[in-house]
A = this chain, B = another copy of it.
């Protein structure tokens, strides 16, 4: 039995059931038959191109929307991010729809039709620096920016973010910093250049490390920043600051205890630590399309879950900031740039991979828009360390931090 065994008017019936299971989100579904289901006329719409696509939507909507979009068998009319935001405001546990059909039927139907989608998922990140250069800021910062004003440019906001992190850590010249997961090296270079610290920055990506080293060379910073091509778990030595921006969401909960121990043994008695991560305000499993097609094993933690890293080690939280609206705006900038460069991107990585990325970036905007995701910056230190900034005023005045010893 094939997925398109669900035929004719049955499609309409099943799709109506699906929309109901989602709590009737404000979206429309337009079928190849001319049928139109769902929300009001001005609601964002998807166009479903064929019976097989419709069947997969009903059987496993969470995966199928993304997969069918990538395959070009489903299209969104108008703004992709707006459609996804509208859809996300519906119930996310639409796996419910599956209960409408016997399990064996579902499994066999999905089995026959999902080969292509799975192949698409291969090597999502295997795209090279040139690809990211087309839509990231000039420093290649692929994490949430900090917009001093919403009107700031992405370039300004990424620099402001680097400063925001350095100020929170209250870095002082001569201090030693270790960075876990340094991407293309922008933060490490910024810390060394403007805060006079010595940095060791870890990353497992060969291509990113080469890029970062080249930047250090160009900037005359090679003696102050060491880029280490290695897993963060091999960090050794003691530092005045431990910093990790955009790595924790790829570290599974089962590794939090190990990470906590690593941080604890890496910090000097007066050392400060900083974790910047995509997170959740409540426990929730990751969307399956993101999980299976984009970020295998990613887990955006709640703040409570993050405490499993710190509390067992008596590391005290000093400051938490939630930058959800800043990530929404950051992702919006990325998406806008991506869409502007779409023809070049398709030529570079092929149509399917371009559509995967497009869907993913639009989904990111929608996730922060609908608050399914947020962004935590957590500053901490050993609980007994009194050599900490007396207040957070220096983060906003830009003046040197006044330290806590009274």
- Residues of B contacting A392 with CB < 8 Å? 321, 392, 395-396
Q: Which residues of B contact A307 (CB under 8 A)?
A: 302-304, 307
Closest CB in chain B relative to A203 CB, distance in Å: 29
How distant is A364 from chain B, measured CB to nearest CB, in Å?
16
A285 within 8 A of B: no
Is A329 on the interface with B (CB-CB < 8 A)? yes
A166 vs chain B, min Cβ distance (A): 16
Interface residue? A406 (CB, 8 A): yes
Return the 10 tightest CB-CB contacts between A and B, nearest first: A304-B307, A281-B316, A320-B320, A281-B383, A396-B396, A371-B383, A371-B384, A150-B406, A282-B314, A325-B404
Cα-based distance from A134 to B68 in the complex (angstroms): 73
When the two chains form their complex, are residues B320 and A319 in contact, meaning their CB atoms are under 8 A apart?
yes
A320 CA / B317 CA spacing, docked (Å): 8
- Within the complex, the shortest CB–CB distance from A303 to chain B, in Å, comes to 5
Task: Determine how many copies of this chain the complex contains.
Answer: 2
Residues of A within 8 A of B (CB): 146-150, 281-283, 302-304, 307-308, 310-322, 324-325, 329, 370-371, 374, 376, 383-384, 386, 388, 390-393, 395-397, 402, 404, 406
Q: Would you give 14 A-B contacts (Cβ < 8 Å), ordered by A?
A: A148-B391, A281-B311, A282-B311, A282-B312, A282-B314, A282-B383, A316-B324, A316-B371, A320-B320, A325-B386, A325-B390, A370-B384, A392-B395, A393-B396
List residues of chain B with CB within 8 A of the CB of A316: 281, 322, 324, 371, 374
Chain B nearest Cβ from A380, distance in angstroms: 9
Contact of A325 among B313, B317, B396, B406 (CB under 8 A): B406
Across the interface, which residues of B come within 8 angstroms of A397, CB to CB?
A: 396
Find out whether the CB atom of A315 lies under 8 angstroms from the CB atom of B150. Answer: no
Q: A322: which B residues are within 8 A, CB to CB? A: 316-319
| CA distance in complex: A318, B326 (Å) | 12
**Min C-beta distance of A400 to chain B, whole Å:** 14
Specify which of B281, B376, B383 is in contact with A374 (CB 8 Å cutoff). Answer: B383
For A281, the chain B residues whose CB sits under 8 A away are: 310-311, 314-317, 383
Given contacts A307-B304, A325-B406, contact A150 B390 (CB under 8 A): yes
Closest to A302 in B: B311
Give A303 to B395 CA distance when docked, in angstroms. Answer: 23
Chain B residue, CB-CB nearest to A378:
B320
| B325 x A388 contact (CB < 8 A) | yes
In the complex, what residues of B have CB within 8 A of residue A308's CB? 304
A335 to chain B, nearest CB (A): 14
17 more A-B residue pairs beyond the given contacts A150-B406, A316-B322, A319-B322, with a C-beta to C-beta distance below 8 A:
A148-B393, A281-B316, A281-B317, A302-B311, A303-B304, A303-B307, A304-B304, A316-B374, A318-B322, A319-B320, A319-B321, A320-B320, A325-B390, A325-B404, A370-B384, A393-B396, A396-B396
Measured between beta carbons, the chain B residues less than 8 angstroms from A395 are 392, 396
Q: What residues of chain B lie closer than 8 Å to A304, measured between beta carbons?
A: 303-304, 307-308, 311
Q: How far apart are A129's CB and chain B's nearest CB, in angstroms? A: 30
A311, B325: Cβ atoms closer than 8 Å: no
Q: Which residue of B lies closest to A396 (CB)?
A: B396
Q: Interface centre among A281, A303, A383, A390, by most B CB within 10 Å?
A: A281
- Per the bound structure, the CA–CA distance linking A265 and B318 in Å amounts to 29
Quick check: B406 and A329 within 8 Å, CB to CB?
Answer: yes
Bound Cα distance A259, B370 (Å): 25
- Interfacial chain B residues near A283, Cβ < 8 Å: 311
Shortest Cβ distance from residue A383 to the other chain B in the assembled complex, whole angstroms: 4
Residues of B within 8 A of A318 (CB): 321-322
Question: A389's closest neighbor in chain B, by CB?
Answer: B325
* A311 partner residues in chain B, CB cutoff 8 A: 281-283, 302-304
A56 nearest CB across to chain B (Å): 30
Identify which of A374, A383, A384 gathers the most chain B CB atoms within 10 Å of its CB.
A383
